[in-house]
Amino acid sequence: MSTTMSPSTSELFDRYVVPNYRRFPVSLVRGEGSWVWDDAGRRYLDFFPGWGCNLLGHCPAPVVEAVQQQVAKLIHVPNTWHFESQGLWAKLLSERSFDGKAFFCNSGAEANEAAIKLVRLHTPKERYKIITFEGGFHGRTFGAVTATAQPKYHEDLGPMLPGFTYVPFGDLDAVRDAIDDQTAGIMVEPIQGEGGIRIPPAGFLQGLRQLADEHGLLLVFDEVQAGCGRTGEWFAYQNFGVTPDIMTLAKSLCGGIAGAAMLTTTEIAPSLRPGMHAATFGGNPIAARAGIATIEMIERDNLLARTKELGERFRSRLQPLVDELDYARELRVQGLMIGLELTVDATAVVGAAMEKGLLINCTQGNVVRLLPAMTLTDAETDEGCDILIDVLKNLN
């Protein structure tokens, strides 16, 4: 892969930044809509903007304006004080979900930590186990990474925290067999993101709801990646007609600004009593204003419907690859969560696409993952698909 990064930036990272990320040899300096520019002036069409956080594209004007106005008035106050925008933000999320209450934090992992705590706090002390699913991803903090049933994320970290039971995604019988007297909850991504854009089989989420109700368990939906309009509904669960007891949100919640939330019902919320959990910067004035601006922009510009249209446009462009290429196994599309599973290593696809000016992602080693912005135009969609199709057809 060629590099356009200046030597000075490279030297700064080599000397001063912990090397815990695999970084591309490119230094980005500006973003606008679905485009970003590097420090050499080259532009890239971004189908994976901000790791899926930039659902409204880079630097959406309403979010930028809201943040600019807020930082000029009040940057941060702790959650020992009230301020109107946090309350209004919670109201907007509640009205678009299941009429519950919100706890605000900063990242998906923090939101899932809050959910794990709430499950244990709300159920009897002898019940502490949570069932999670193979291929799932819930974050990098210790509770969240233990909940993540992927051995590669546990490597060299053991022993992991007790209390998590892993079962295959989509297997209701396995869930039923895993439930015992110590089980407190079930935690699942309605659509697995990092796991390869895996859409659950018909009836699976409904079955989880039924099992949770039968056994008095709390059902947690991790919508860190799938929520906030990504699938064309406000929340992914609304595609399946199954309502959780607890839901976690992050990534695109604030249009690219850091922010996260855990939502739960009014009956369960009091179990997260004062002193049991907190987030110093959670729901701060900047995040709150960005979150409100994000919701308002999505509704004003009718972007939920647009997301479904774009998803179908991607489907129509990429589905023929599955029939044409021996190594294209399956295309999975839910709104703007798009995964193309290959039978070969897809890592090279990312590099080849970047060389041609398209930014995409590979997950699970063999799945091309796209999480483009709702604001993508038809022409941009076609331009990116043309590049991706060309790369895939010429994959050595």
Is there a binding annotation on residue 353? no
Q: How many Å apart are CA 257 and CA 91, to the nearest integer?
A: 19
Angle between helix axes 285-300 and 303-324 (nearest 10 degrees) is 80
Q: How many Å apart are CA 126 and CA 211, to the nearest integer?
A: 19
Order across the sheet with 367-370: list the strands.
328-334, 337-342, 367-370, 361-363
Q: How many Å apart are CA 261 and CA 256, to the nearest integer?
A: 14
Residues counted in the chain: 396
Is there a binding annotation on residue 222? yes
Is there a binding annotation on residue 225? yes
Q: How many Å apart are CA 118 and CA 216, to the nearest integer?
A: 14
Is there a binding annotation on residue 140? yes
H helices, E strands: number in the chain: 11, 15
Is there a binding annotation on residue 364? no
Is there a binding annotation on residue 192? no
Is there a binding annotation on residue 309? no
Angle between helix axes 285-300 and 61-71 (nearest 10 degrees) is 150
Q: For residue 342, give every residue at least 6 positions away whose Cβ sits within 8 Å of its Cβ, in sequence order, or none.
A: 327, 328, 329, 349, 366, 367, 368
* Sign of the torsion angle spanned by Cα atoms 15, 20, 25, 26: negative
Contact 262, 102 (CB under 8 A): yes
Is there a binding annotation on residue 280? yes
Contact 331, 340 (CB under 8 A): yes
Question: For tokens 């946090």, what's the residue?
Answer: 86
Q: Which of 389, 347, 391, 393 is nearest to 368 (CA)?
A: 347
| 198: its two tokens | 């895996």
* Sign of the torsion angle spanned by Cα atoms 342, 343, 348, 352: negative
Report long-range pairs for 157-163 (Cβ below 8 Å, ≥24 apart).
163/120, 163/128, 163/129, 163/130
Is there a binding annotation on residue 345? no
Q: How many Å apart are CA 367 and CA 362, to the nearest integer?
A: 6
Binding-site residue set for pyridoxal 5'-phosphate:
108-109, 137, 222-225, 280
Binding-site residue set:
108-109, 137, 140, 222-225, 280
Binding-site residue set for N(2)-acetyl-L-ornithine:
140
